[in-house]
Amino acid sequence: MEYWTSLASMMGVFAFCQSILHTVFPPELRFASIKLFNRIFHWFSSYCYFDITEIDGVNTNELYNAVQLYLSSSVSITGSRLSLTRALNSSAITFGLSNNDVIVDSYKGVAVLWEHVVTQRQSQTFSWRPLPEEKRGFTLRIKKKDKSLILESYLDYIMETANEIRRKNQDRLLYTNSRGGSLDSRGHPWESVPFKHPSTFETLAMDPAKKTDIKDDLQDFANGQSFYQKTGRAWKRGYLLYGPPGTGKSSMIAAMANYLGYDIYDLELTEVHTNSELRKLLMKTSSKSIIVIEDIDCSINLTNRKKNNTSNQAMSNQYEPEMRSGSGSVGGGEDGGNSITLSGLLNFTDGLWSCCGSERIFVFTTNHIEKLDPALLRSGRMDMHIFMSYCSFPALKILLKNYLGFDEGDLDEEDLKELEEVIVKAEMTPADISEVLIKNRRDKKKAVRELVEALKNRAERSRINGGSREKNSNDVEEEEQEKRALENPEEGCEFEEETCKKGEDEEDEKIK
């Protein structure tokens, strides 16, 4: 009984002292005292702290997401429970710090401590944007002497590393500009699908030495940010792929994208109305991407001005170059055709607007390089010209390995020697050779025999016809005319009339 009496008396004294404390030291004075105490403590402490919250006001803090992704790449995370995530369009699972876990990181010999702080958010009143129930953030603890190093370079390093991890984990996308310049549901002029093309430089049928040169050039470009800044050049590069159809130009583009991990923007020029629309499309492309214009001499009427200047009128036109789309009409014409100018395309590839992004590659393809205007071919627009030739013997060995699993030692020396002799004379494209191998892939020996026979037949046919180059050139020209005919019915009618007239002339010559 005496014990409880003493306890009650002590509690009474404590309550009396507390009331006196509240009277003598009001809440404002107590708050100021605590603040002063914290300042004194931090002043004598050798550490400083930085808070990185998930939501900064009403907006998502990008630095929080970057830190979370950056720490997920570390293998030194301690604790028995980790958080696993897989982002949309991502091919990898990442792990991160669980609630209130701690990790120690090192940057340039400096140790930093990260703590993932998760607390319950107080009940919120009405808000236009409801906040999550949990308040999450990272606390960074560093020594005061390392403050300048961490704030100046460490956080930028975290952002760059997180972007690189996000790019590697994310699936590649293939974009195309919307038909007629329309916008999608999000207001973007590009439509995308997942890019799953399996082509790589290892499977590409090309001379190994040429592939090595291209890979080295791509790698130098991807790692050349400081070089381009130092030299005052825009961080972009242009490639021209030219050669007969079926020589692997599209496969080369896919191999470049898979090698660098870049997205592809396949630009259809016939769907672009004006130069301003072309600039808007360029502005909506992301960094680390490849912008492709395939068959540039077929999609628009782009010819070499020097070869067309056969009259005074043509001489005057060289100062007002104009390229028309498949409709052959100027933008705003009566038939509503699409048109862009040569100046617009040059500015697209090498003008001021081409510098609105960074780390982008322009790739053009054509079957006739001689048809392109010299202004497009110069360095700065098409820096590297890559000739996609007929299948050579080193490229043939790659195809035999890809489709039949043959290494160089698996084939008879006689077969190898025969293939090496006939491959140059035949002038077959990798696409034609691949078709022969695919049809007979179940019987490898038969596939080799069929291939040798096909190469011999092609070489003999070329010899009888007086050379395959002229014939293949005519085939390419007919193929391009068919492309234009499909895009424009009017040109299709002209193409059919031309073909019929040509056939009638040949019949008349036979009768004579």
Average pLDDT for 422-426: 88
Percent of the chain with pLDDT over 70: 69
Query: Quick one: 339 and 275 in the same domain?
Result: yes
Query: Quick one: 460 and 473 in the same domain?
Result: no
Is there a contact between 345 and 323 (Cβ–Cβ < 8 Å)? yes
Residue 456 lies in a domain: yes
Secondary structure (3-state) at 492 = helix
Average pLDDT for 456-484: 63
Q: Which of 369, 387, 405 is the last residue of a domain?
A: 387
Domain count, the chain: 4
What's the pLDDT band for 259 if we cut at 50, 70, 90?
very high
Strands 360-366 vs 289-293: parallel, antiparallel or unpaired: parallel
Q: Which of 352, 387, 422 is the last residue of a domain?
A: 387
What's the pLDDT band for 201 if we cut at 50, 70, 90?
very high
pLDDT in tens, 300-349: 655 555 555 544 444 344 434 433 333 333 334 334 455 677 788 887 78
Alpha-carbon distance values, 183 to 273, 279, 286, 336 (Å):
14, 15, 17, 19
Look-up of token digits 């499909």: 486
Strands 263-266 vs 289-293: parallel, antiparallel or unpaired: parallel
pLDDT given at position 481 = 55
d(CA 110, CA 149): 9
Q: DSSP of 199-263, one letter per residue?
A: --TTTS-S-HHHHHHHHHHHHHHHT-HHHHHHHT--SEEEEEEESSTTSSHHHHHHHHHHHHT-E
Average pLDDT for 351-363: 80
pLDDT given at position 181 = 63
The residues pairing with 55 across neighbouring beta strands, listed in sequence order, are 60
pLDDT in tens, 98-127: 677 788 888 888 888 888 888 876 665 555
Residue 327 lies in a domain: yes
Residue 412 lies in a domain: yes
pLDDT given at position 2 = 73
**Where do the H-state alpha helices sit in 337-467?**
342-350, 374-377, 393-404, 413-426, 430-439, 444-464
pLDDT given at position 475 = 54
Query: End-to-end CA distance of the chain, in Å?
Result: 139
- Paired tokens of 40: 């004194």
Residue 9 lies in a domain: no
Closest CA to 46 of 141, 113, 114, 143: 143
Domain that holds residue 490: 468-511
Average pLDDT for 8-16: 80
In this predicted structure, the answer to whether residue 445 has a pLDDT above a threshold of 80 is: yes
Query: Quick one: 203 and 136 in the same domain?
Result: no
In this predicted structure, the answer to whether residue 363 has a pLDDT above a threshold of 90 is: yes
Average pLDDT for 386-414: 88
- Answer with the residue of higher pLDDT: 258 or 185: 258
- Paired tokens of 114: 């990260």
The residues pairing with 241 across neighbouring beta strands, listed in sequence order, are 365, 386
Strands 263-266 vs 102-107: parallel, antiparallel or unpaired: unpaired
Residue 8 lies in a domain: no
d(CA 420, CA 459): 13
Query: Quick one: 378 and 418 in the same domain?
Result: no
- Answer with the residue of higher pLDDT: 23 or 82: 23
Residue 114 lies in a domain: yes
Residues 6+ away with beta carbon under 8 Å from 512: none
Q: Which of 371, 387, 403 is the last residue of a domain?
A: 387
In this predicted structure, the answer to whether residue 351 has a pLDDT above a threshold of 60 is: yes
Query: Quick one: 52 and 89 in the same domain?
Result: yes
d(CA 297, CA 304): 10
pLDDT in tens, 70-82: 887 764 444 455 6
In this predicted structure, the answer to whether residue 128 has a pLDDT above a threshold of 60 is: no
Q: What are phi and psi of 509, to 5 degrees?
A: -65, -40
Look-up of token digits 């402490």: 45
Average pLDDT for 213-235: 92
pLDDT given at position 296 = 86
Query: Quick one: 116 and 227 in the same domain?
Result: no
d(CA 305, CA 328): 17
In this predicted structure, the answer to whether residue 178 has a pLDDT above a threshold of 80 is: no
Average pLDDT, the chain: 76
pLDDT given at position 495 = 43
Average pLDDT for 397-419: 85
Query: Quick one: 188 and 328 in the same domain?
Result: yes
pTM over 0.75: no
Is there a contact between 246 and 431 (Cβ–Cβ < 8 Å)? yes
Residue 82 lies in a domain: yes
Residue 5 lies in a domain: no
Secondary structure (3-state) at 110 = strand
Query: Quick one: 370 and 421 in the same domain?
Result: no
Query: Quick one: 76 and 163 in the same domain?
Result: yes
Query: Quick one: 286 and 371 in the same domain?
Result: yes
Residue type, 19: S
Query: Quick one: 284 and 399 in the same domain?
Result: no
Q: DSSP of 325-364, one letter per residue?
A: BTT---TT-TT---EEEHHHHHHHHHSGGGGSSSSEEEEE
Is there a contact between 93 and 84 (Cβ–Cβ < 8 Å)? yes
Classify residue 409 by burial, with Cβ atoms within 10 Å: 0-12, 13-18, 19+. exposed
In this predicted structure, the answer to whether residue 485 has a pLDDT above a threshold of 70 is: no
Determine which of 111-120, 287-296, 361-370, 495-504 has the lowest per-residue pLDDT on average.
495-504
Query: Quick one: 378 and 294 in the same domain?
Result: yes
203-225 burial, b for 16+ CB within 10 Å, e for fewer?
A: ebbbeeebbeebeeebeebbebe
Secondary structure (3-state) at 502 = helix
Is there a contact between 439 and 454 (Cβ–Cβ < 8 Å)? no
d(CA 425, CA 456): 8
Percent of the chain with pLDDT over 90: 22
d(CA 403, CA 318): 49
